[in-house]
A and B are shown apart, each in its own frame.
Chain A
Amino acid sequence: MNLKSILTLLLVIFILSACATREYRYTAFDKNISNADQYKSLIIRSRDYWEFFSQKNFDESYKFELPYQNYKHDLQWYKSFHAQNRKNYKITLIKILSLGDDIIELHLRFNQKDKSYVFTDKWIEVNKQWYHKYNDSLIPNFDY
């Protein structure tokens, strides 16, 4: 086996291992949602958000949060607030519900080996960009 073959083999192993990790991290979205086409940009944004958030990459997920929430809480606060979160779970999009032209509620399923539940996520379009609203209080919020 020459050097070129060894390098090619190493590259293939590297790509495969990356894919394997990627699959573990992958946040799956159900493709059978009727109004999915209408909200393509939102779905992509939500997928990217959860990709970062589920990996506790809060530096990146912070950029998706509503601007006024980021004005209220800086990144440091955001990181410490979410520090205890779980990691490496899957999120599946179940339903897209419009609460108005620019406010959407996504119904999502949280999946991990020992736990699975459905929750809602609010997204608001501000100047042609979708932003995520996070719950910044440990006390239940009823105006959601």
Chain B
Amino acid sequence: MLKLFLISLSLVNLSFGVDLNITTSDRDYATTSEIYQLKKNLLIRKIKIDDKEASRILEENMILSNLYLIENKLSKEMKNNFKILIEDKLAKMLIDEKEKNLHLSEDVLLSFYKDKKKLFFSKEIAFLSVYQFNDFDSALKFYQKFNNNTKDISIYAKDSNITKINQELEFSAIHPQIKGYLKKKTEMNYVVPPQKWAEHFIVVYLEKIKKEGYRPYEEIKEEIKKILIEENRGKTKKELVSYYRKRYGNSK
């Protein structure tokens, strides 16, 4: 990857195109900014090196990539592939940059929301906590304590012996064995008695139900912006290409 990255850098030709050439240099190869960049890239992968080491890697990579180019003669196909990859990457970077700064007015976002409200309909969602036990007695003890107590689940959350899984499910998707106990959906903080579940026993706690309905506009504003920007990516591309042609002529 690193090698590809370094070769890629050498491919970018500022005369509006991408070309692949062997790099020859009389200077000390690694500049301060290149060393800094390499260290930064490696740090993302949690690899820490000093300047000397970075400089050595950069120089070695330059020599090795040049050697590859000299000895293997990059095929036309590979050259084309590099060219396509880099141009694609740069184009995406440019579009991302432009899109990040796009401002969509309140009217644009709100009109989309009102017209496409169906897209933002959310079914009834149940927030469940499932406590898992290896034997029935433990499950029953937990259930009795839990059910008779204040139902403050936070005290049980601290118990590391209990396996707890939080789930957000569409109410209709809850297994019938559990759903049978949850008929009174309006009654929150409900605890389902121990159930045999595969190799285990479980106690299910219904924390709350989020009623079905349209998600509020304020909650999904950003989502709408993303949808519209995504849908209009073609338009953004066209505008940028047209801008480029106007400014720099038709040369590629």
Does the CB pair A66–B115 fall under 8 Å?
yes
Q: How distant is the Cα of A91 from the Cα of B111 in the complex, in angstroms?
A: 25
Q: A127-B106, A143-B118 are in contact. Are A68 and B235 (CB under 8 A)?
A: no
- Is there a chain A Cβ closer than 8 Å to B21's Cβ? no
Chain A, 67-98, contact with B by CB distance < 8 Å: what is the 0/1 string? 11111101000000000000000000000000
Chain B residues whose C-beta falls within 8 Å of the C-beta of A127 in the assembled complex: 106-107, 110
Tally of chain B residues near chain A (CB < 8 A):
17
Min CB gap A100→B, angstroms: 8
Smallest CB–CB gap between A70 and chain B, Å? 8
- The secondary structure that dominates the B interface is helix
- B108, A71: Cβ atoms under 8 Å? yes
Bound complex: CA A122 to CA B115 (Å)? 9
Chain A residue contacts of B110, Cβ below 8 A: 67, 126-127
Once the chains bind, are A68 and B232 in contact (CB under 8 Å)? no
| A42 surroundings in chain B (CB, below 8 A) | none
The reply to whether A72 and B235 form a contact with Cβ atoms under 8 Å apart is yes
B235 touches A126 (CB 8 A): no
- Which of A68, A71, A102 counts the most chain B CB atoms within 10 A? A68
Complex partner residue of A126 from B107, B118, B231, CB under 8 angstroms? B107
**Contact: A133 with B115, CB < 8 Å?**
yes
Identify the closest chain B residue to A71 (Cβ): B108
